[in-house]
Amino acid sequence: MNRILNLIFFLLAGLYSSQDIKMEFPYFAGKTYDFIIFQGKESKIVYQGVIPSDGKFTLSVPQIYTPYRGMCRWLITGSEQGGGLDMVIPGVDFSVSCLSKIPNNDNIVYTRNDEMEKLNHYSQIQDSIFKRHDAMWRAIKSFSRSNKSYSLFQLEYNKQLKAYDSLQIMLDKDHSYASEFLRVVNITRGIGKELEEGEEKRAESIANLITEDLKWETLYTSGHWSTVISSWVDIHLLVLKNDKAFIKDFDKITENIRAGLYSDFAGQVAHILSQQGKDNLIAAITPIVLSSGKIEKYEGGLSVYKRLAVGSLAPDLVLTKVKKGKKETEHLKMKDLLREDYKKILLIFYHSGCGPCEKTIEELSKSDEKLSKMGVRIIGLSSDKESLSFNKNSSKFVGKEIYCDYEGLNGANFKNYGVLGTPTLVLIDQSCKIQLFASELSEVLSVLK
């Protein structure tokens, strides 16, 4: 029985042991270093040390992250020369050695790491295609069709397009991390699965690659998580400008990404949309997020998906005051704020020093008389964290009803209304129900008309 238990313990220990990278860099002896792995938008320093005199040392991925399959960075610190190395960790232990003073792809030797060989191989093929493709593209643009060499340039250009297509087929068949990572890097360079000429065609190619073919596990450990997600949203908002296509793609990605990564993805998308004033798109994808079953807690940036829907009762306001060093809270009931002489309440969630916020407040000042005649009560709620900033800028705000609890976006009112970014305007009707969420005053004025 003891032998069986010992065997089980040994096997479990093997499953959850750390991953090691044996390093040998003698010419870097005495240098300090950081060992970094990537988890979504975070770069985690998981190991630090000093290279011994013989240049031999071990980098270890902590058990909590194993088996780790993704990019890592060995970074020399405390040196003017700097230096380091980006490597693929293939999910198992491996070794790296370099006996040269100046490391490069020719003198760095990897043992038990086919991923690095593949990545270097695919990168060389692709770089060769790009070099010839770009040269022929410039030639085609520089010479007229009547030039005797034009047809040769065109022939070689088409040849490189076919060569890139062949490379994509090769990458499709190879399910290695290297093949998937190369495509991630291409996205950051504005390149999809096809070499397209026009901006819109390139955007469509990249959007399609992200939606249909991207391996989200690879992206999560690539070091390019935030960049790729931001690129995908920007492509839709700034180039394609098709809300239906964006919602459709978001739904597709929701199907393709596992629960552990989905929270991070949905949170970042919500943040970007909020910054861009696209509350309508947040509202459109909210049912997809809520029905996915992939998010356990709607906290922080995810709280926007639990934001009160238009037509729901508006929460009472929570005011925080400091008296004799103690915080005291007071609740202002919405029904009391909507006295007979007020038909609407307009809440302005803002932050001092925020350009769009200041623009909204300036527009609000110009429309104050108009709003007053419409029976609109204006209440400002600041996300400032310092009293100096709040007091300095509060004079710019229309009227005297302006409050701050110095909790930033974590303040009670911001949480209760699911406000993720500023400025956010909330229009409340006389029955205490939310009539509109908006990012610009013009939307509010349009509804009031």
Whole-angstrom distance, CA of residue 412 vs CA of residue 332? 13
Q: Is residue 240 part of a domain?
A: yes
Q: Is the peptide bond before 67 cis (omega within 30 degrees of 0)?
A: yes
Between helix 150-173 and helix 177-188 the angle, nearest 10°, is 130
Residues 339, 400 within the same domain: yes
Domain boundary among 112, 140, 171: 112
Would the pTM of this model clear 0.85, i.e. be above it? no
For residue 90, name the pLDDT band (cuts at 50, 70, 90). Answer: very high
- In this predicted structure, what is the pLDDT of residue 2? 47
CATH code for the domain in which residue 25 is found: 2.60.40.1120
Residues 221, 300 within the same domain: yes
Domain boundary among 306, 338, 366: 306
- In this predicted structure, what is the pLDDT of residue 325? 67
Residues 356, 429 within the same domain: yes
Residue 434, judged by CB atoms within 10 A of its CB (0-12, 13-18, 19+), counts as buried
Task: Calculate what percentage of the chain has a pLDDT beyond 90.
Answer: 66
Residues 351, 419 within the same domain: yes
Residues 302, 373 within the same domain: no
Whole-angstrom distance, CA of residue 309 vs CA of residue 424? 14
Range of the domain at 145: 116-306
Average pLDDT of the segment spanning 284-300: 90
How does the average pLDDT of the chain come out, rounded? 90
For residue 17, name the pLDDT band (cuts at 50, 70, 90). Answer: low
Residues 235, 330 within the same domain: no
128-178 pLDDT, tens per residue? Answer: 999 999 999 999 999 999 999 999 999 999 999 999 999 999 999 999 999
Task: Calculate what percentage of the chain has a pLDDT beyond 70.
Answer: 95
Give the CA dihedral 173, 183, 89, 87, nearest 10 degrees.
Answer: 130
Q: Is residue 346 part of a domain?
A: yes
Question: CA nearest 306: which of 270, 273, 354?
Answer: 270
Domain boundary among 252, 279, 306: 306
- Contacts of residue 270, defined as CB under 8 A and 6 or more positions apart, other chains included, come to 282, 301, 302, 304, 305, 420
Q: Is residue 349 part of a domain?
A: yes
Residues 90, 23 within the same domain: yes
For residue 15, name the pLDDT band (cuts at 50, 70, 90). Answer: very low
For residue 196, name the pLDDT band (cuts at 50, 70, 90). Answer: confident
Whole-angstrom distance, CA of residue 275 vs CA of residue 278? 8
- In this predicted structure, what is the pLDDT of residue 81? 74
Among 24-28, 186-190, 224-228, 312-316, the minimum mean pLDDT is found in 312-316
Residues 407, 297 within the same domain: no
Residues 11, 139 within the same domain: no
- In this predicted structure, what is the pLDDT of residue 13? 38
Residues 197, 120 within the same domain: yes
Does position 257 have pLDDT exceeding 50, yes or no? yes
- Contacts of residue 347, defined as CB under 8 A and 6 or more positions apart, other chains included, come to 379, 380, 381, 417, 425, 426, 427, 428
330-376 pLDDT, tens per residue? Answer: 888 999 999 778 999 999 999 998 888 999 989 988 998 899 899 99
Whole-angstrom distance, CA of residue 427 vs CA of residue 401? 16
Which residue type occupies 446?
A: S
Residue 214, judged by CB atoms within 10 A of its CB (0-12, 13-18, 19+), counts as buried
Residues 137, 171 within the same domain: yes
405-419 pLDDT, tens per residue? Answer: 889 888 889 888 888
Residues 41, 93 within the same domain: yes
Whole-angstrom distance, CA of residue 370 vs CA of residue 357? 20
CATH code for the domain in which residue 424 is found: 3.40.30.10
- Domain total for the chain? 3
User: Hunting for tokens 């209304």 — which residue is that?
Assistant: 417
CB 218 within 8 A of CB 181: yes
